[in-house]
Amino acid sequence: MAITLPKIFLDSGDPEETKKVRSLLGFVDGQTTNPSLIAKNPEVQKLIASGKRLTEKDLLGYYHEIIQEISRLIPGPVSAEVYADWETPASQLLKQAEEMTTWGRNIYVKFPVIPEGLKAAHEFVLTGGKVNMTLVFDQIQAGAVYSAVREAKFPSFVSPFIGRWDDRGINGLDLVKNILRQYKGLNRELKRPSQVEVLAASIRTLDHFYACIFMGADILTVPLKILTEWIHDEQWIPDEHYRVATPGLRILPYQHVPFRPDYTQYLIENVPDSLLSQGLEKFISDWKKLTA
């Protein structure tokens, strides 16, 4: 059984890392960013260290410049994330998305998979927008994405997060495996190929990286540290004999999630201790730390 290397994206908010990966690997298929990664950008960190507090306009200006530079370096998709909390209306998310699409050649706007994020994404793709649906932690969210963007004019991305499940002692790789199985079933049921590509995110280890290749994820978004380890491992690609090692982690069981043509019928819950709420709060916190 031949295993095909998926598309490899860099997960970073630093164009210097983009240059380094291009130099080391000879290629990079795309790049993903988010508020936390932009907060780690060395230039933004210098501003904060100097005591400067940024207005939201300042911060979006830096984000714009960073995305523009990354877009000049790579021809593939570049993901820029809207600011969202549970109260942000879809209209405001759409306004941000429309602005972000002007930042580069092939911008994919990242919407969190919360009710207003789904609503914004659904409207955005109908007008030709490209989306990367982020902060995905369960198959209900994945089902909602499949339904919400099924009339998109371009392929969409869904980003299941692996590492956050591992932090709770549950095998986050199962989430990627389960969504791949879920989408294959939906494709058969609806007799049409999916417009959604599974983009494995929150990859923390080289084992995560290899397992996602082995399972058949469409795209992997990977930090520089893991890509450097892969290069030191001579860019090995797992074969049919590879076995995923997840010692001490509990199984995340597969759920049968029925297809619903109305994406609003998928129940996305705002539970304070859920991975979704915690993930959204982390991005909000990182963004607000930078602003006056």
Q: What are the catalytic residues?
A: 110
Cβ contact 83:109 at 8 Å: no
Q: Exposed, middle or buried, 158 (CB in 10 Å: 0-12/13-18/19+)?
A: buried
Give the Cα separation of 121 and 119 in Å (integer).
6
Single out the residue of 151, 153, 150 nearest to residue 142, CA to CA: 150
Question: What is the rounded distance in angstroms from the CA atom of residue 110 to the CA atom of residue 129?
Answer: 11
Q: Rounded CA gap, 166 and 203, in Å? A: 10
- Residue found by looking up tokens 């990354």 in the block: 70
Rounded distance between C-alpha atoms, residue 21 and residue 223, angstroms:
10
